[in-house]
Amino acid sequence: MTLNNAQAEQLCFVPMPSGPTTAVVGDEQTIYISADESESWGKGDIQLRGDIELIQGNRLLRAEQAAYYRDDQRITAEGGVSLTEEGLLLKGKRIVLDAQSEAATLEGGSYQIAGRSARGAAEKISIISREHILLEDASYTTCPPGDESWRFRAASITLKPAENDGVARHMRLEVLGVPVFYFPYINFPLGERKTGLLSPSIGSSDNTGREVTIPFYWNIAPDRDATLSVRQMSQRGSQLTGEFRYLNENGEGQLDAEYLSNDHQTETNRHFFQYQHQSYWQAWQASINLQQLSDRDYFRDLSQEKERYSSRLLESSATLNYADDSWYWSLALQHNKSLDAPDLAVITPTQRLPQLRFSHYRGIADNLNFSLQGEFASFRKSSDLTALRFDIKPTLSAYYGDSAAYLKPSIGWQGSGYWVDGSPSELRQLPTVSLDSGLWFERHQQIGKKRYQQSLEPRLYLLYVPYRDQDNLPTAGQLFDTQLSEFDFDSLFSENRYSGIDRVGDEKRVTLSLASRWFDDQGRQRLQMSVGQRYNLAEQRVILADEAVAGKGWSNLLAEINGQVNRFITTSGLMEWNNRQGWLEKANFQLAFERDQKRRVALGLNFRRALLKQSTLKARWPLSSRWSIMGDLTYSFYRSQALNTQLGLEYDNCCWRIRMAAQEYINDNDGSRNSGIAIQFELKGLTSVGSKISGFSEHKSPGPN
């Protein structure tokens, strides 16, 4: 049989022989014996020779010679002895079994544990019971037979699977035959989580210098656990961190806390706190996210998460939601804190204290539907600007259509009002009329040897919203939660071109789009291509302070593509073309190839005229059956420099793995850079030492269960 590389990488361990088949498995007391020869003497004692198989329950014993003593239910066996039971394979020179107590003693033996790909040897293996095994003068490794890259040797190893408990005494770790560590006593889990020290992580960066983190894991209960760590940084000092997780019948939560006493750089005490919780019961859902920082530079100076490095807002929130077949209610509290320096801040955070939103939908007649949306909210923009806002919008809509065409007219009314610093504003009232319509054409198409069904979907959308002067809502020059929405296909068919409801844009708009999709013979969509454009029948008069006026005529042209070329290749992209000026306003495109976890490449391009011109590359690829490379690059053509760079190398064999990575990333707020190098060394099935490196194939550690 010939194996390809992927199969060879997986075939690291000799499979364990199967135990007794279902057809011959008996109860725990009945013993089934087969052999080439047998001889009985005395009071029913039996001597067995040649290809012996003894089955008792799920236990299977094989040997060349054996003797069964009826009085004390004792069995001795020699010559090619192997004992298989419940995921454990034992081999040795001689074994003695007690058929009544199921105890057994194996001399000069080796063992293999299923599921953990672990094996070892011992001068003596004693099965005191199915839940108590003692190995004397023993070794342990997860390397395949013939490979002794690393192993543990111990005077004794005690295994108690039912208690998830393993104890080793006088143990030393040998790497390539050289002793590197000695442990007089080790207590370790046999599968599930267990309280104790975890492997330390080691790394370095420009902001923290050399650092070592030593974590302690506390398995409080099956549904609760905690990790406490000490992080020593050469340029900052000692930091204490803690993580507490819990699960219950209706939800889950996590508490994180970090404290650094007397930062060597700032000579201040620094801390971070975050509490997250989610609950679900019947139609209700609640969530909490509370965050608190000692200073705005905390993430930049101390965070180990690259994603937080350029955070500009610190958000705390609490929500309570209710949803059934016709009603949706949401009560939210939100507090935002800007992490920008006061003289550089471009975001003035808005606090929602609180915000109540609701919506209702129901059918009132054939093809006729009624919907209602509303909001009551209290805002605080700054110390001298607070306001209450209410908004309500009932809508009537109808739907007429089949598989070839549809028509959806709707008419609505929206009323909004404010109380700013206790003074009421004028009520804003706006009717909205829209008509959405579309057609569906399809045909069969053959490309090469494959047959597809292609659709052609023209769509026409008409929208009318009259002009209302809103410059003083809520007050001159102030908005709470409103900005111009991103110009994309969703915005082509939305009733309001702004997010939030402080502004409702005036519209006399016609939108045209054309989409085409390809489906394979299994009904799976393989490719979608769309183009769309809207035509303004009049110049738009409602605008934001920094918004360009959209005049009468055609908007920019949008084109979009989404496809799954085959099971390995996917693509997506969006382009906005300025047909008046004849240039490209923005474009983004992604092309990804993923064969498996070890073979994936993703290329991205992102362009915004006079603002952004970037490319991204994320890749992980094997150089051979053992060596792999990983890269993550974001490059700015406008700056002519890399904004984020990470390059890693991995060596991975059946029993150990080493990863090395160098990274450098830039802070978008002030342009400062941070760089570092990380090394991770793992003895498979045992432990890993060093900083975890993203970008390679990783499996998340499970939470409480």
Asked if residues 233 and 263 have their Cβ atoms less than 8 Å apart, the reply is: no
Q: How far apart are CA 138 and CA 172, in angstroms?
A: 11
The residue whose two tokens read 């905690």 is 226
d(CA 37, CA 83): 20
User: Which range among 283-287, 478-482, 571-575 shows the weakest confidence by mean pLDDT?
Assistant: 478-482
Query: How far lies 531's CA from each of 187, 413, 438, 498, 510, in Å?
Result: 64, 31, 14, 22, 14
Q: Express each pLDDT in 298-352 by its tens digit.
A: 888 888 776 666 667 788 999 999 999 999 999 999 988 888 755 444 456 778 8
Give Cα 216 to chain centroid, integer Å.
24
Local structure of residue 694 (DSSP, 8 states): B
**How confident is the model over 680-684, as a mean pLDDT?**
78
Buried b (16+ CB within 10 A) or exposed e, 143-167: bbeeeebbbbbbebbbbbbeeebbb
Taking the C-alpha atoms of residue 325 and residue 162, their distance in angstroms, rounded to an integer, is: 47
Would you say residue 75 has pLDDT above 60?
yes
Q: What is the model's pLDDT at position 693?
A: 76
Cα–Cα nearest to 464, from 411, 423, 405, 414: 411
In angstroms, the Cα distances linking 180 to 265, 478, 593 are 36, 66, 42
Would you identify the CATH topology of the domain 5-194?
Answer: lipopolysaccharide transport protein A fold (2.60.450)
Output the pLDDT for position 705: 41
Query: Which pLDDT score is estimated for 310?
Result: 61
Q: Would the pLDDT of 96 be above 70?
A: yes
Q: Are 381 and 480 in contact (CB under 8 A)?
A: yes
Q: How far apart are CA 106 and CA 76, in angstroms?
A: 10
Name the pLDDT band for 11 (thresholds 50, 70, 90): very low
Q: Which of 242-246, 606-610, 658-662 has the lowest mean pLDDT?
A: 658-662
- Segments in 488-556 forming alpha helices (H): 489-492
Under 8 Å between Cβ of 270 and 308 = no
- Tell me if 270 sits within 8 A of 294, measured CB to CB: yes
Give me the torsion for CA of 8, 10, 12, 15, rounded to 10°: -110
Cα angle vertex 664, ends 662, 666, to 5°? 170
Mean pLDDT in residue range 440-463: 93
Dihedral class, residue 184 (left if φ above 0, else alpha if ψ from -120 to 50, else beta) = alpha
Residue 6 has pLDDT above 50, yes or no: no
Return phi, psi of residue 7, to 5°. -65, -40
- Whether 704 has a pLDDT exceeding 50, the answer reads no
- Kindly tell me the burial class for residue 501, based on how many C-beta atoms sit within 10 Å of its own C-beta (0-12, 13-18, 19 or more): buried
pLDDT at 266 > cutoff 70:
yes
Residue type, 432: T
DSSP string, 478-492: B-SS-EEPP-SHHHH
Least confident span in 163-177, 195-209, 272-286? 195-209
Instruction: Indicate the pLDDT class of residue 119, thresholds 50, 70 and 90.
Output: confident
- Looking at residue 23, its pLDDT comes to 42
* Domain locations in the chain as residue ranges: 5-194
- pTM, entire model: 0.75
- Average of pLDDT values for 79-94? 86
Residue 42, pLDDT > 90, answer no
CA distance 337 to 348: 9
Mean pLDDT, the chain, rounded, equals 86
What value does the mean pLDDT take over residues 679-691?
A: 72
Tokens representing 345 are: 């801040």
- Dihedral angle computed from the Cα positions of residues 174, 178, 183 and 189, in that order, rounded to the nearest 10 degrees: -10
